[in-house]
Amino acid sequence: MTITKGDQPSEESAAPAAGGEPAGARGSRHSRARDPRVSAMMLSGLLALGLGVTAAVLPVPYVVESPGPTFNTLGKDNGKPVISVTGRETYPAKGNLNLTTVYVDGGPNGPVSVFEAFSAWLDGSKAVYPQELIFPTGVTKEQSQQESAVAMTTSQENAVASALKELNIPFGQKLEVAELSEGSASQGKLKSGDVFTSINGKPITSLVVVQEELAAGKGRPATVVVDRSGKPVSETITPTRSDSGRFILGVLLKYRFMFPFDVKISLDKVGGPSAGMMFALGIIDTVTPGDLTGGKHIAGTGTISPDGAVGPIGGIAVKMHGARADGATMFLAPAANCAEVTGHIPDGLQVVKVENLDEAKRAVELTARGADTSGLPTCANN
């Protein structure tokens, strides 16, 4: 039981003296205070109050997510354009294509108290999760920030690639070995920095080529050629089967892109991969004539892959509240997040589920024309 400040005086003024008579009938407050039973009651009350206050401020292993600011990818942040392009003609754009953010308290970001967690649980715009669901055990604040920064950089590169692919603008891309996984089948054969050029004689233009060739081989050794410091190196590697049943080489790969023009994204103190789709839409609007949004206020979230696939993110329920509070009337949500969308949509916000950049772009274009958007896919018709 918690005790509020208002409880103390009311309890004291109604407390009976010895024998059950009103305190005023027995004389002064001084004489009543000396009664051992009254003293014990007062002491118990003070102890209960102290314990209640102490419990309220004790840290608990939970994480609280609350709506963060939104940023218009067509606008500016701290006086700088969020998206700036050099080497290609650009076009001014009106309207909003807002990325959404989340404030995260708890875990490596500092402790959350019982009171803070309970207050957030009562607030429909916030979310409370066990700490282990959000952060790996033992991760530090510095490690979390570093991972978030790397994810943001990768999402920006993927956003440029997916936007150019959507616009049929050619660009170069290579697959580079980032690192080897534990117990890798490629141990002692491939190294970090190797650039894949072919597998079983087939040129590698994307990750899909590698995956399809390994699947077709059904575990048979594969001949992989990589570029290592400008020299071709050929290795024969026997893939292993992953927990999901796929055949893998045991390497973590990253894309190295060669774009025909430069795209710079300036956004301070924001990390993570979840803005990828909105960056891609902003890039498309920036380098194409006309106004993609028609002046409408649209927000969204979702990771993006170089081929335009939109992936799930965390904190989507909180992000929808932040988007609506900032004025958005349409929200683009990854189809894979539908379970978290249903039942959490704020009033006045239309949520459209998308699986790829093309679907997101079409939804924005339909809204821009002022057409009927009621037929767009939603999580309700998942």
Query: Bigger pLDDT: 256 or 297?
Result: 297
Q: What is the pLDDT of residue 51?
A: 42
Q: Give residue 53's pLDDT.
A: 46
The total number of structural domains that make up the chain: 3
pLDDT band at 335 (very low <50, low <70, confident <90, very high): very high
Give the pLDDT confidence score for residue 59 in this predicted structure: 64
Q: Which of 235, 258, 281 is the last residue of a domain?
A: 258
Comparing CA positions, the residue from 276, 271, 210, 270 lying closest to residue 246 is 210
Alpha-carbon distance of 372 to 232, in angstroms, equals 55
pLDDT digits (tens, 9 = 90+) for 89-120: 999 888 999 999 999 888 888 888 888 888 88
CATH number at residue 220: 2.30.42.10
Give the pLDDT score at 60.
62
Name the least confident of 37-41, 191-195, 232-236, 238-242. 37-41
Task: Quickly count: other Cβ atoms within 10 Å of residue 143's Cβ.
Answer: 13
Considering the domain architecture, whether residues 217 and 351 belong to the same structural domain is answered as: no
Among the candidates 201, 228, 258, a domain finishes at 258
Distance from C-alpha of 154 to C-alpha of 147, rounded to nearest angstrom: 11
With respect to residue 351, please indicate whether it lies within any of the assigned structural domains. yes
Instruction: Give yes or no for residue 186 having a pLDDT over 80.
Output: yes
Q: Is residue 125 part of a domain?
A: no
156, 75: one domain = yes
What share of the chain in percent tops pLDDT 90? 61
Render pLDDT for 21-54 as a digit per residue (tens, 0 to 9): 333 333 333 343 445 554 455 545 544 444 444 4
C-alpha dihedral, 298 to 299 to 303 to 307, nearest 10°: 0
CA distance 297 to 42: 59
Q: Which residue has the higher pLDDT, 292 or 138?
A: 292
pLDDT computed for residue 37 by the predictor = 55
**Band of the pLDDT at 313, cuts 50, 70, 90?**
very high
CA distance 168 to 310: 18
pLDDT at position 382 is 54
Same-domain pairing of 316 and 333: yes
Does 237 share its domain with 335?
no
Query: Does residue 279 sit in the same domain as residue 374?
Result: yes
Q: Picking from 27-41, 198-212, 245-259, 274-288, which range would have the lowest pLDDT averaged per residue?
A: 27-41
Q: Is the pLDDT of residue 14 over 80?
A: no
Flag whether pLDDT at 18 surpasses 90: no
Q: What angle do CA 261, 264, 268 make, to 5 degrees?
A: 175
104 vs 287, residue with greater confidence = 287
CB 350 within 8 A of CB 324: no
Whether residue 278 is found in the same domain as residue 309: yes
Give yes or no: residues 276 and 324 share one domain.
yes
> CA 191, 196, 197: angle at the middle one, nearest 5?
140
- Amino acid 68: pLDDT: 93
> Where among 258, 273, 301 does a domain terminate?
258
Domain shared by 156 and 276, yes or no: yes
Q: Report residue 138 CA to chain centroid gap.
A: 20
Q: Would 145 be classed as within a structural domain?
A: no
pLDDT digits (tens, 9 = 90+) for 157-177: 999 999 999 999 999 989 999
Residue 326 lies in a domain: yes
CATH number at residue 98: 3.30.230
Residues 305 and 164 in one domain: yes
pLDDT in tens, 211-231: 999 999 999 999 999 999 999
pLDDT at 301 over 60: yes
More confident residue, 348 or 55: 348
pLDDT of 285 > 70? The answer is yes
pLDDT at 154 over 50: yes
Q: Under a CB-based contact definition with an 8 Å cutoff, are residues 160 and 263 in contact?
A: yes
Written as six digits, the tokens of 83 are 């998206």
Instruction: For residue 34, give the nearest of 44, 45, 25, 23 by alpha carbon.
Output: 23
The parent domain of residue 42 ranges over: 7-57
SS (H, E, C) the chain: CCCCCCHHHHHHHHCCCHHHCCHHHHCCHHHHHCCHHHHHHHHHHHHHHHHHHHHHHCEECEEEEEEEEEEECCCEECCEECEEEECCCCCCCCCEEEEEEEEEECHHHCCEEHHHHHHHHHCCCCEEEEHHHHCCCCCCHHHHHHHHHHHHHHHHHHHHHHHHHHCCCCCEEEEEEEEECCCCCCCCCCCCCCEEEEECCEECCCHHHHHHHHHHHCCCCEEEEEEECCEEEEEEECCEECCCCCEECCEEEEEEEECCCEEEECCCCCCCCCCHHHHHHHHHHHHCCCCCCCCCEEEECCEECCCCEEECCCCHHHHHHHHHHCCCCEEEEEHHHHHHHCCCCCCCCEEEEECEHHHHHHHHHHHHCCCCCCCCCCHHHC
Question: Is it the case that residue 305 has pLDDT exceeding 70?
Answer: yes
